Amino acid sequence: MCRSVDVKQAVLAKNDDLAHTLRDDLARRGVTVVNLLSSPGSGKTELLGRVLARAVGRGVPVAALTADLATENDARRLARSGAPVQQVLTDGLCHLEARQVRRRLEGWLPDDTAVLFVENVGNLVCPASYDLGETLRIVLMAVTEGEDKPLKYPTAFGSAHLVVTTKTDLAAPAGFDEAAFRANVHRVNPGVEIVRTCARTGEGVDTVLDRALATRHAAPPHHPPLAPRPHDHGHTHDDPHDDGRRHIHDDPHGHTHDDDHAHTHGREHTHPGDHVHPHPHDEARPHPGDGDPAHDGGHDQSHPAPAVTPAPAS
């Protein structure tokens, strides 16, 4: 058990170092990275396509990376916006890592890019633990998914700078209780902004783009309770079980508490009766070739996909 935790912390620490370097490198180029997280079927790709098209229409230079286990379908859809798009194929890996983003950007990202949108793998478990060098983390949820989703996935929602609801045109037919949803979001992430969107009607599209652009000139206005601690090069963890993240404890009286105890293991902790069972893939594991470019094409690595040539905006 201890060895497993040690390996996990080493993988996360290495990813965080790469993410920190990537964020600094891109910031010097004037590029802001937005990491989009959601479960499969949330409407994330459709909304992102609308945001990209709106940016192109407004003359804002944007680009996108989209990740999937297989197929280039989403890259083709997003390219219709007219923005530069690249696909990352993870070959079964349930999340993106900073090394994959860095490798995919090499020699591709246009010099004038203002915002790079990264559409993560559809999953609210594994991606929540991995910093991709983003400045803004957006967690999306369709109104058809249920008001209690923030309580089921507190790490994802608790690490968001912005929460977005999608498919709001289906709220009434789905019986979506927006007040309950907002209460649940703020239970795990007090004060975070929640934006309503609908790709069909265009509701909230400009707002999402405006929030992304705002982070180019200033830090996100919200500091989530599960945000990583400030990066400290050369820092040595006294306890290998401390991954530098903060954890939410559900109180039977409805209060939430975050703590920084050094014995935590990078998981959500709850009081008896509200135990969180991690997904089998939620154990960070070293990958063949980590840190070795010669092996980056091995199993469970992202395979470079052919560049997608943007089609004229529709």
**Token code pair at residue 247:** 């954890």
The amino acid sitting at 78 is L
pLDDT (0 to 100) of residue 287: 41
Whether the per-residue pLDDT at 256 is higher than 70: the answer is: no
Confidence of residue 283 (pLDDT cuts 50, 70, 90): very low
d(CA 20, CA 88): 20
DSSP state for residue 281 in the 8-state scheme: G
Helix axes of 44-57 and 205-214: crossing angle, nearest 10 degrees: 70
Asked whether residue 300 carries a pLDDT value surpassing 70, the answer given is no
pLDDT at residue 145 is higher than 80:
yes
Is residue 311 over pLDDT 60?
A: no
The answer to whether residue 245 scores a pLDDT higher than 90 is no
Mean pLDDT of 6-15: 81
- Tell me how many degrees the CA angle 102-106-107 measures, rounded to the nearest 5: 165
- pLDDT (0 to 100) of residue 5: 67
Half-sphere exposure of 82 (CA within 13 A, CB side): 14
pLDDT digits (tens, 9 = 90+) for 153-169: 999 999 999 999 999 99
With 50 as the cut, is the pLDDT of residue 293 above it? no
As a whole-number percent, the residues of the chain with pLDDT over 90 amount to 63
Instruction: Please compute the mean of the pLDDT values over residues 210-222 and round it to a whole number.
Output: 92
74-78, 159-163, 297-301: least confident range: 297-301
List the one residue out of 221, 54, 245, 236 whose CA is nearest residue 155.
245
Asked if residue 254 has pLDDT above 70, the reply is no
pLDDT bin (cut points 50, 70, 90) of residue 2 is low
Mean pLDDT of the chain, nearest integer = 79
Whether the per-residue pLDDT at 242 is higher than 60: the answer is no
Q: What is the percentage of the chain residues whose pLDDT exceeds 70?
A: 70
Beta-carbon-side half-sphere exposure of residue 152 (alpha carbons within 13 Å): 13
Please tell me the least confidently modeled range out of 31-45, 105-119, 137-151, 269-283: 269-283
> Residue 141: phi, psi to the nearest 5?
-150, 130
Beta strand ranges found along the chain (DSSP E): 32-37, 62-68, 85-89, 115-119, 136-142, 162-166, 193-196, 247-250, 256-259, 303-304
pLDDT at 279: 40
Which residue is listed with tokens 């135990």? 275
Task: Assign 3-class secondary structure to 177-245.
Answer: CHHHHHHHHHHHCCCCEEEECECCCCECHHHHHHHHHHCCCCCCCCCCCCCCCCCCCCCCCCCCCCCCC
Q: What is the mean pLDDT of residues 295-300?
A: 38
Average pLDDT over residues 174-178: 98
| Closest to 36 (Cα-Cα) out of 46, 22, 24 | 46
Q: Is the pLDDT score of 137 beyond 50?
A: yes
Summarize the confidence of residues 35-55 as an average pLDDT.
Answer: 97
pLDDT digits (tens, 9 = 90+) for 78-109: 999 999 999 999 877 889 999 999 999 999 99
- What does DSSP say about strands 162-166 and 136-142: parallel, antiparallel, or unpaired? parallel
